[in-house]
Structure 1
Amino acid sequence: MKKTTVQKILPYLLIFPSIMIMVTVIFYPIAVSLLRSFQLEEGGWGPDNYIFFFTDRIQRGNILYTLEIVMATVVLAIGISYFLAIYLRFSDSVVSRAIGHLYLLPRFIPGMVAVNGMITVIRDSGLINRISQLFGLNIKLGLMYNGKGIVLMNLWFNIPFATMLLAAAMSKIHNPVIEAARDAGAGKLRILKDMIIPMTYRDVFVAATFVFMSNISSFTTPYLMDGTNPQMMGIALYNQFNNMHYEKAAALSVIMFLFSVLSAAVYVYTNMKENDWEKQAG
């Protein structure tokens, strides 16, 4: 009887340290931020801090600007990564093998170093401008202090990561399946539309979720490359905290967390849908 009781309790005892770590570093800070977000600077409680971010023209513009940058990053990063993953999976050329060995290198470059390097290249007095002057030109890309430069920098960070996820998804497509389709007369577009996309679209949503969540609260890139108005939410949060508006900073952090929760819901729904498909197939 005692042995059976120990066997029932033991799994919970083993996972208890992990649960306590999660409670300490994740759930407790979230609960504290949520509670403080309803506190008012002048005293009392209410939703005024949230109302401020959705009614104030500047703060509302910051939220919309952030979503615009993040969605542009997601669409471009996933689009480029998807076709790069296809190329790496189905091509056996020297170029594809070289890319397969090198495409993850940007992930190992510290963010501050990468952003500073990009700035020295694309700013109006940067490397590209200086090279153009050697040929009598004065090329100014206009990528600093606006959203275009941030999206470009985000692609540097996210394309390797998304490609890694999608390349792993492509590996489940076996060569005999593709060869059989070709023998049956299917062209490249038909194979892409009817075979590759249906077998990997769930992984596309997973990759898009991670790209979205990693950029919705980004700080380093917009801090070094963006202008002063509008600002991404990570910078707006820093400014609220730096100006000692801690309650508003807590509210904005909760808003950012809710955006991440929405993207996580897409991830969960995608995986649940896959399980339903497997049950029906079974």
Structure 2
Amino acid sequence: MRQKTLGKLFPYLLILPSLIILAGVVFYPIAASLLRSFQLEEGGWGLDNYIYFFTDPIQRRNILYTLQIVIVTVVLAIGISYFLAIYLRFSNSWASRMIGRLYLLPRFIPGLVAVNGMITVIRDSGLINRISRLLGMNLQLGLMYNGKGIVLMNLWFNIPFATMLMAAALSKIPDSTIEAARDAGAERFRILRQMILPLTYRDLFVAATFVFMSNISSFTTPYLMDGNNPQMMGISLYTQFNNGHYEKAAALSVIMFLFSVLSAAVYVYTNMKENEWEKGNG
């Protein structure tokens, strides 16, 4: 009886160290931040820290600005990546083969190095401006210290990653299926709408979820390229913490986590609806 009980407990004992580490580095910090977010700087407990971020005009603008940047990034990154992946999947030209070998290179460049390199190119006195002066112009892109530059940098980071996910999804579609549709007289747009999209809906939403979550709390890019007002939430969190407003910083971290949870809910929903989409019923 004793050996039987030990046999049942043995698998749980094997994963116990991993669970302890997971609890210490993931669950405990989340719980501690959540608890501290309800503490007030003047003492006591309440929702004042959360109310502050949704009633203060500056903080509310920071949240809306962050969501605007992230949503634009998601739409552009997924749109560009999807059609790039389709081109790589169904084209056999030398250009597609070359792009297929090179498109992941940005993923191997450290983020700080990539941002600094982009700044030297697009700032008003950067490489593009200097080249334009050689041609008798004074071209200033105006991409620094505003959201346009951040979106451009976000696309640099996210298009290769999203394209990789899309290319993996498209590779599962047999060539025979596409060829049969073409032999039956189906046009390219109809094949895309009625065959390729239903088979890759889930992967589209998965890629969008990861792009959203990776940008909602971004710090390096907005810290180096954005202006002082409005600020993305990652910078606002750093400012609150650096100024000693630890309770407000905890509340903002919880808000950012809730936005990520919402995107994770989309991921779960797409997994639940996958079968319906593939049958064309979703």
d(CA) in 1 for partners of 2:98, 2:104: 11
Number of the residue aligned with 2:209: 209
Number of the residue aligned with 1:36: 36
Letter in structure 2 aligned against 1:65: Y
**1:254 aligned to 2:235?**
no
Secondary structure of the equivalent of 1:83?
Answer: helix
Once the two structures are superposed, residues 175-233 of structure 1 have per-residue CA deviations (whole angstroms, 9 ceiling, x without a partner) of 00000000100111110000000000110000000000000000000000000000000
Shift of 1:3: 4.9
What pairs with 1:98-177 in structure 2 (closer than 5 Å)?
98-177=98-177
Identity %: 81
d(CA) in 2 for partners of 1:99, 1:132: 28
Farther off after superposition, 265-274 or 194-203: 265-274
d(CA) in 1 for partners of 2:50, 2:182: 56
d(CA) in 2 for partners of 1:216, 1:89: 30
d(CA) in 2 for partners of 1:278, 1:220: 39
Once the two structures are superposed, residues 49-73 of structure 1 have per-residue CA deviations (whole angstroms, 9 ceiling, x without a partner) of 0000000000000000000000000
Task: Please give the TM-score of this superposition, normalised by the length of structure 1.
Answer: 0.96
What pairs with 1:212-231 in structure 2 (closer than 5 Å)?
212-231=212-231
Letter in structure 2 aligned against 1:241: F
Is the Cα contact below 8 Å between 2:198 and 2:277 reproduced in 1?
Answer: no
What pairs with 1:13-92 in structure 2 (closer than 5 Å)?
13-92=13-92
| Aligned residues: CA RMSD | 1.7
Secondary structure of the equivalent of 1:27?
Answer: helix
Runs of 5+ consecutive residues of structure 2 not aligned to the other structure: none
Number of the residue aligned with 1:243: 243
Farther off after superposition, 95-104 or 152-161: 95-104
Runs of 5+ consecutive residues of structure 1 not aligned to the other structure: none
d(CA) in 2 for partners of 1:278, 1:152: 33
Shift of 1:78: 0.2
d(CA) in 1 for partners of 2:190, 2:70: 31
d(CA) in 1 for partners of 2:39, 2:190: 57
Secondary structure of the equivalent of 2:35?
Answer: helix
Task: Please give the TM-score of this superposition, normalised by the length of structure 2.
Answer: 0.96
Once the two structures are superposed, residues 94-116 of structure 1 have per-residue CA deviations (whole angstroms, 9 ceiling, x without a partner) of 11111111111000101110000
d(CA) in 2 for partners of 1:76, 1:18: 38
